[in-house]
Amino acid sequence: MLLSAFALNGFSQLPEETPEQKTERMEWWTNDRFGMFIHWGLYASPARHEWVKRYERMTNEEYEKYFEIFYPDLYNPHEWAKKAREAGMKYAVITAKHHEGFCLFDSEYTDYKVTNTPIGRDLLKEWTEAFRAEGLKVGFYYSLLDWHHPHYTIDRNHPLSASSDEEYKKLNKGKDMDIYRRYIKDQVRELLSNYGKIDIIWLDYSFPTRKNYDHGKGNNDWDSENLLKMVRELQPNIIVNDRLDLLDVDGGWDFTTPEQYKVSKWPEKNGIRVPWETCQTFSGSWGYYRDEMTWKDTKQLLVLLIETVSKGGNLLLNVGPTARGIFDYRANEKLEEMGEWMKYNNRSIYGCTEAPTEFAPPDHSLLTYNPETNRLYVHLLDYPMKWFTLKGYEGKVKYAQFLHDGSEIKFGKPRHNVTHQEAKGKEDVILILPMVKPNVEVPVIELILN
Ligand code: GLC
């Protein structure tokens, strides 16, 4: 009691760290910008959303058939890792356990785990080794929700959610969340002890009770502070997301996680910009969804990545492998096409961030900036005409080139005649571009600044 009262008053039990130390701990992540999310579990078999158990209100018995049939015979995590690397991704986060409660790893604390399915192997272990071998940083997603554990109380998001307080009381009789809280800690301890250095942990998620009747779960239900304290003890350099419901606790999270939408500007907390990572799907669902057809096209995905970096953030892009253990052909196609762009243009992504305010983005373009090299990147989303004006850039640019082929872009001279409608102002720079768009989905101009 006393301890948690102190914690609430700001005497957090979490290790203290200066802002500079935090920046340093997160440096690789801030630099790398682009990662792969992987949602893979029993829900790959029904293939109609990772929330299928909840959406169709299935009981454990009804869901059991997916456990009995789980046999991803084509699983080759080396192939996955290679695809991620070739797409330009530098880190990856996989679901060790999602809301359904199934564990993709060999846990001492449950039978509901991959080693007891027909495949009979610790697939998470293989994954971790394969991704590391390919040079990627590795992270685990661990669901705080659990729709299988007998002591996890039924709440409003549970497959068996009730419609009255009475009913909840009846359903939850005999359940002991203390046991479940211990289970979370035991499993997270396993994940952070038995698999070597883990770079990221994604603990997902909280939905606090807003009114005393709406049956949510928040930091008290997870014992979030003690859980996080354990995480930091086991892996002092790990990077942690913000879904433990500890937003107002010092050290309670490392980065914020806007999901499936674009932020309008760099997110702030109390007026200060915070590290952020947007997580996004190729199509609507996180788990493999056979009949979901709303796939984003490659240009949309590239713009998503560029725009994210232009506002100082990271992109975690999700793949939902099939029940056979392979990526959907559309995911492969998008990854390859993004990789083709990244191969020639990644200098405008890695190590880059929002441009200094003195540089206004020209029409139909997005800017990123590398503070180390002092280079500015103009991403041409809609290819312009030959004369391209950089308003207010005069005196600031030493050299201009296309990034994909390193070819010089010449500066234009001011022209004061009728054909040049917008005469160059004294403060502007004009670039002379080729009339035909280069053979690149989104061409990038690299400006070497003075
Ligand atoms: C939400 C969903 C979940 C998904 C996650 C990704 O929390 O519940 O299915 O894993 O978002 O951020």
* Pocket-testing residue among 144, 286, 289, 318, ligand 1, by greatest number of atoms within 8 A of Cβ: 286
Does residue 191 have a pLDDT over 50?
Answer: yes
The alpha carbon of 288 and the centre of ligand 1 are apart by a number of angstroms equal to 13
3-state secondary structure of 24: helix
- The hierarchical CATH code for the domain 5-348 is 3.20.20.80
Does residue 373 have a pLDDT over 80?
Answer: yes
Whether omega before 205 lies within 30 degrees of 0, making that bond cis, reads: yes
Of the candidates 83, 76, 31, the residue with the CA atom closest to the CA atom of residue 338: 83
The alpha carbon of 286 and the centre of ligand 1 are apart by a number of angstroms equal to 7
pLDDT level of residue 3 (50, 70, 90 thresholds): very low
Q: How far apart are CA 242 and CA 205, in angstroms?
A: 9
Report yes or no: 104 and 163 within 8 Å, Cβ to Cβ. no
Does residue 1 have a pLDDT over 70?
Answer: no
Atom of ligand 1 nearest to the CA of 279: 12
Q: What is the DSSP letter of 369?
A: E
The predicted-structure confidence for 228-285, as pLDDT tens digits, reads as follows 999 999 999 999 999 999 999 999 999 999 999 999 999 999 999 999 999 999 999 9
Q: What is the pTM of this model?
A: 0.95
Q: How is domain 365-449 classified at the architecture level of CATH?
A: Sandwich (2.60)
pLDDT level of residue 8 (50, 70, 90 thresholds): very low
Atom of ligand 1 nearest to the CA of 95: 10
- CB-based contacts of 256, cutoff 8 Å, min separation 6: 242, 267, 269, 274, 275, 276, 277
Q: How far apart are CA 195 and CA 106, in angstroms?
A: 11
Atom of ligand 1 nearest to the CA of 257: 12
Instruction: Kindly state the percentage of the chain with pLDDT values over 90.
Output: 92
Atom of ligand 1 nearest to the CA of 39: 10
Atom of ligand 1 nearest to the CA of 318: 6
The alpha carbon of 448 and the centre of ligand 1 are apart by a number of angstroms equal to 41
Q: Taking CB atoms and a 6 Å cutoff, what residues make up the pocket around ligand 1?
A: 39, 50-51, 204-205, 259, 279, 286
The predicted-structure confidence for 102-135, as pLDDT tens digits, reads as follows 999 999 999 999 999 999 999 999 999 999 999 9
- Nearest C-alpha to atom 11 of ligand 1 is from which residue? 259
How high is the pLDDT of residue 6? 40
The full set of domain ranges for the chain reads: 5-348, 365-449
The alpha carbon of 116 and the centre of ligand 1 are apart by a number of angstroms equal to 25
The alpha carbon of 167 and the centre of ligand 1 are apart by a number of angstroms equal to 27
How high is the pLDDT of residue 370? 98
Q: DSSP per residue over 108-171, as a string?
A: TT-S-BGGGSTT-S-HHHHHHHHHHHTT-EEEEEEES--SS-TTSPP-TTSTT--SSHHHHHHH
Q: How far apart are CA 357 and CA 377, in angstroms?
A: 14
The CB density around residue 299, as the number of other CB atoms within 10 Å, is: 13
Atom of ligand 1 nearest to the CA of 205: 7
Structure tokens given for 425: 């102002």
The alpha carbon of 421 and the centre of ligand 1 are apart by a number of angstroms equal to 51
- CB-based contacts of 10, cutoff 8 Å, min separation 6: 250
How high is the pLDDT of residue 423? 55
